[in-house]
Every structure is written in C-alpha cells, then in structure tokens.
Amino acid sequence: MSLLSLNNLSVTRSARAVLSDVSLTIAPGECVGLIGPNGAGKTSLLRAALGLLPFTGTSDLATLSPAMRGRAAAWMPQSREIAWSVTVETLIALGRIPHLPRGTALRAADQAAIDAAISRMGLSDLRHRTATHLSGGEQARVLIARALAQDTPLLLADEPIAGLDPASQIATMQVFANLAGEGHAALVSLHDLGLAARHCTRLLMLHAGRLVADGPPADVLTQANMAEVFGISAYYRDTDQGPVFQPIEVLG
C-alpha cells in the first residue's frame, strides 16, 4: 500500500518544463525529505501531486475528489498565510474542515485531534493568543499544527522549518519523524541538508525538474551529488550520535 504514487509527473509553466517525468511512491512509515537547489521544482512537485497545478502524467492524490483528498493528505504551503486575527486554537481547528460534515460543530474526536496537534507542536502556552500577533516562527509552528490537526495519512509540507530557531527546527523534524514512526508518512521540502540527513528516512533530490537521486540520506548526500546538483563540497560522517552533514564551500 502506498500513500502517494506519482507516475511520469511533468509540469510546464510558461512553456518551460519545471518538472519532468518524476515517478515515485511513498509508503506508510516514511519521512521523506525533498531537496534540491532553488528552482529545482520542489514546490511544483508537491503542488502538482496534490492536483493544485496542471500537470501531465498521473498522481493518485489528484484523482481523488476534493473532499476525499482533504482526508488523504494535508498540505502546508510555503506562503504562511493567516488572513484574519483568529486565535491559535481557532486557526488549528480549521484543519478539521475536511472531516466535518457541513454545518456541524467540532465533535470530541475533532477536539482530540486539535489538542494532539497543539501538544505535538508545543503550542499549549500560545493556544489562546491571536495568531497574527505571534512571531513568524511561532506562526509557522501554528500552521504546522493546523496541518497535523487534519490528521491525514500523508503530510506534504513546503519548507516547513525555514525561519525556525534551531530548537524548533529539530523538534519539528522530530514531529515528522514521529508521525512516520506511527505509520503516517511525511513529504517535506527543506534546504537544511544536515537536518534532512538526521531526521529523514529517505531523500528525494531534484535538479532542474528531474528526480536525480532517491534513497537513504547516505546514498543521496554524496560528494558527487553535492558537486553536481548544488555545486558545493560537503562533510558527511556517520557518528554515534547519528549522521552529521555540513556544507563546506562553493565549488569554482
């Protein structure tokens, strides 16, 4: 059983191929990091997989009805939009919309999912604060909690840890890894290759719209791939505290 299956997914925008023939499947238990330089097609891959972008090829998520898709996958876009000054809890509760029959109030199960999301993201103290008054990093954590409250088998997140402090970055990646450990799956784009190496069970590397590497972090974060795709040299060691990855310098 897979939670996401893409076959020859291609996206063309303004006559330019931004994603070319990407095929992959994601199974329960996987915490997948999506890496690649700016413009490699990470966001396009995630959005096309959800059916939010026109594409060719197939994505099993995109064939679901909108209501079914809302229960199959949660999506946290890169733009962290909070339009109105609602409380943190009200905002997180929006994640229950796909599960609520029209016109019904939150039920016990919904409240439980909201509480679980709040506690996973360590937001108990902020629960009654106004979301738009929080710092950017706090807002990002609230929006991740919103996606967690959707309680879907699969979570797609576009650069969820960008702009977070180190402790929040580690804690958030641990949340994704824990979700995977509980039989869910996460597909997360990120630029912090060190955190990707430590917390992801599998990395997908995009380069100019093509999937150029797919496998365990140690097999993807190789010197050759770093030079070819990112144009950098890097340090990678397996230590007794887990893998350590550090970009070193830009290659000439």
Partner 1 sequence: MRLAAGLIALVLALFAGSLVSGYASATAGDSLLALIRDDGTPLSVVMRDIRLPRALLAVMIGASLGLSGAALQGYLRNPLAEPGLIGISGAAALGAVLAIQSGLVLQFAFALPLAALGMAVLAVLAILLLAGPRGASITLILAGIAISALAGALTSLVLNLSPNPFAAADIVFWMMGSLADRSFSHVWLALPFMAVGWVMLASLGRGLDALTLGEDAAEAMGLRTARLRLLLILGTAACVGAATAVAGAIGFVGLVVPHLLRGAVGARPSALLWASALGGAAMVLAADIAVRELFPARDLKLGVVMALVGAPLFLHLIYKTRKELA
| Cβ closest to partner 1, residue 17 vs residue 86 | 86
Q: Does 212 bind partner 1 (CB under 8 A)?
A: no
- Say how far apart CA 54 and CA 11 lie, in whole Å: 7
**CA–CA gap between residue 231 and residue 233 (Å, rounded):** 7
Nearer of residues 130 and 222 to partner 1, judged by Cβ: 130
Please name the residue that has the structure tokens 């990470």: 42
Our CB check for partner 1 shows the closer of 74 and 188 to be: 74
Query: Which of 229, 226, 224 has the alpha carbon at shortest distance from 245?
Result: 226
106 binds partner 1 (CB under 8 A): no
**CB 176 → partner 1: shortest distance, Å?**
17
**Binding test (CB under 8 A) with partner 1, winner from 91, 117, 187, 200:** 91
94 counts as binding partner 1 under rule CB under 8 A: yes
Binding to partner 1, residues 128-147 (CB under 8 A) = 132, 143, 146
Compute CA distances 221 → 1, 46, 250, whole Å.
27, 21, 15
What is the layout of strands, in order, in the sheet containing 16-26? 16-26, 4-13, 56-59
Hey, CA dihedral for 120, 126, 131, 133, is it positive or negative?
negative
Q: Are 118 and 175 in contact (CB under 8 A)?
A: no
Q: Which stretch binds partner 1 (CB under 8 A): 89-97, 165-173, 217-225, 241-249?
A: 89-97
Instruction: Indicate whether 82 belongs to the interface with partner 1 (CB under 8 A).
Output: yes
Indicate the residue among 81 and 249 with the shorter CB distance to partner 1: 81
- Helical axes 136-149 vs 166-181, angle rounded to 10°: 10
Record the tokens describing residue 232, joined without a space.
């950098």
Question: With CB under 8 A, what is the number of residues at the site for partner 1?
Answer: 35
Q: CA 5: distance to chain centroid?
A: 16
Pairing of strands 185-189, 16-26: unpaired
As measured in angstroms, the least distance from the Cβ of 65 to partner 1 is 8
The Cα 137–Cα 143 span in angstroms is: 10
Which of 31, 75, 46 lies closest to 184, judged by CA? 31
Q: Which is nearer to partner 1, 40 or 50 (CB)?
A: 50
Residue 83 binds partner 1 (CB under 8 A): yes
> Quick one: tokens of 37?
């330089």
Q: Which of 1, 84, 167, 252 binds partner 1 (CB under 8 A)?
A: 84
Q: Within positions 33 to 72, which residues make up the interface with partner 1, using CB under 8 A? A: 47, 50, 52, 65-71
Closest approach, Cβ 10 to partner 1, in A, equals: 20
Nearest CB to partner 1, comparing residues 50 and 211: 50
Q: Which residues of the shown chain bind partner 1 in the complex (CB under 8 A)? A: 47, 50, 52, 65-71, 73-77, 79, 81-87, 90-91, 94-95, 97-98, 100, 102, 132, 143, 146, 150
